[in-house]
Amino acid sequence: MTQSRLINYSEVWGNWVLAQNFVYGFNAVASLYEGLMPSISEAISHGKKLLGQYYSAIAYKWGGLLCAMLASMMLAVADRFILGASGPEFVRAAVYAGPLLLWGALQCGTWVSDMVQRGSNHPWLIAVMTLVEQTIRIGLAVLLLKQLQIYALIVAYFAGILTKEILSYFVNDRICFRQRYYFWQSLIAPVLAGLVNYAILRWVTGMIWQNDQITSVIIFFIALVPSYPVFAFPVRLLRRLG
């Protein structure tokens, strides 16, 4: 589908694949959720639905925190790193990296919902919700790819993941057990802290970056390691205020 409808397919797809590599960083966060399923399973199998609710609420909080932190770090330096490390021929990848990183950060809700469905002995719901997501994604790509080109995939990715997350939350609330989502703790505070971290990182790394490989590696290191406390302090403060 993409080969037949994308103009200048080889160049566009090469840039897309390069930008998508940054999204794999969220897989490290996703792997942390493998331990959530047995916790929920044990709670539900012993009739402790309130404990299962507690586990899922905490998982939403930590998912929002970790994904907001990682997204703010990568968004601040990804475009500059791509241009400096790979060259001007990958300017498209620098543009695609932003929305793809935001899409990657949105996935935290699906990790929780999938584990809730598995842990409460309703694994068939995962197949149903995934089918809904992929149907929306493929359908929108088919409809929009010719007009919007590669940006149709971005629209399709966002529409699919948001639909799955929102629908899964209410389905889990009805079929599995009651769900609780604390907007301030799980979404608002991490996003605000992420904006602070992004602004500081963007400013600091902008003074260092010289559009070459060495400074591109340096700013990438700064984003991944020293910036952690810059995010951790405001998110902790904001959560206490909420």
DSSP at 184:
I
Give me the residue label for tokens 């609780």. 180
Phi/psi region, residue 87 (left: phi>0; alpha: psi -120 to 50; beta: rest), is: left
Give me the residue label for tokens 């963007």. 202
The CA–CA distances, whole Å, from 181 to 17, 170, 178, 233 equal: 34, 11, 10, 23
Give buried/exposed letters for 160-198 (b at 16+ CB in 10 A, else e).
bbebbbeebbebbbeebbebebbeebbbebbbbbbebbb
**pLDDT the model gives residue 174:** 94
Q: Are 145 and 153 in contact (CB under 8 A)?
A: yes
**pLDDT the model gives residue 228:** 85
**pLDDT the model gives residue 242:** 67
Q: Are 214 and 204 in contact (CB under 8 A)?
A: no
Q: Are 36 and 120 in contact (CB under 8 A)?
A: no
Q: Are 198 and 191 in contact (CB under 8 A)?
A: no
Our measurement of the distance from residue 49's CA atom to the centroid of its chain's CA atoms, rounded to an integer in Å, reads 28
166 contacts: CB under 8 Å, gap ≥ 6: none
**Which tens digits make up the pLDDT trace of 49-78?**
999 999 999 999 999 999 999 999 999 999
DSSP at 186:
I
Q: Rounded to an integer, what distance in angstroms lies between the CA atom of residue 133 and that of residue 130?
A: 5
Query: Residue-wise pLDDT tens for the chain (242 aa)?
Result: 777 777 888 888 889 999 999 998 888 888 888 889 999 999 999 999 999 999 999 999 999 999 999 999 999 999 999 999 988 889 999 999 999 999 999 999 999 999 999 999 999 999 999 999 999 999 999 999 888 899 999 999 999 999 999 999 999 999 999 999 999 999 999 999 999 999 999 999 999 999 999 999 999 999 988 888 889 898 888 888 86
**Which tens digits make up the pLDDT trace of 111-131?**
999 999 999 999 999 999 999
Q: Are 186 and 61 in contact (CB under 8 A)?
A: yes
